[in-house]
Amino acid sequence: MPNRRSFLQIVAALLPAGLGAQGRPPAPAPPREVTRHTLTGPLEGFDVVLVELNPGPGTGRDHRHTGPVLGYVVDGQVRFGVNHGPEQIIPAGGTFFEATGTLHSTFGSANPTPSRVLAFMVVPKGNSGTVPA
């Protein structure tokens, strides 16, 4: 399905990357789709993806999701912020929530090692689920 493939490519492009051994950012691992359930009515699907965040300075690119997102930090600690507000550090076992259309302005690993997040996303019909700000 082109929309789902586009969504995964956009998410991979939006994630920050840490610096590699040569001072260059390593290629971010693409989000791994865990499951997708088709929904009815105005909703296309319910997606769950596993996202690995590389360590390093900076923030992710500002973006918005076209449906609500609930994140669960599996490993490490994640830097999280919305609407250019204060950055929060979410530890392993913690969660974060983004309401539909909220500007996701800070996202990345807060550890010197990669962190992993399970993202649960509702995707409305006719779009990929993520749009640049």
Please say whether the beta carbons of 111 and 76 come within 8 A.
Answer: yes
Question: What was the pLDDT predicted at 12?
Answer: 47
41 token code pair: 């009515």
- Domain borders along the chain are 2-132
Closest CA to 7 of 120, 131, 102, 133: 131
The pLDDT score that the predictor gives to residue 29 is 62
Between CA 104 and CA 89 the distance in angstroms is 14
- Return the pLDDT at 15: 43
Strand bridging mode 69-75 / 63-65: unpaired
Q: Which CATH class name applies to 2-132?
A: mainly beta
How far apart CA 92 and CA 24 sit, in angstroms, is: 27
Token pair 């507000």 is found at 85
Local confidence pLDDT in tens for the 133 residues of the chain = 444 544 444 444 444 443 333 444 455 566 666 766 676 777 778 888 898 887 765 555 788 888 899 999 999 999 998 998 998 999 999 999 999 989 988 888 998 888 999 999 888 877 666 666 6
Spatial separation of the C-alpha atoms in residues 17 and 28, rounded to whole Å: 6
Averaged pLDDT score across all residues of the chain: 75
Distance CA 77, CA 5 (A): 27
The Cα–Cα gap between 93 and 41 comes to: 33
Q: What does the DSSP 8-state code read for residue 21?
A: T
Q: What is the greatest pairwise CA distance in the chain?
A: 49
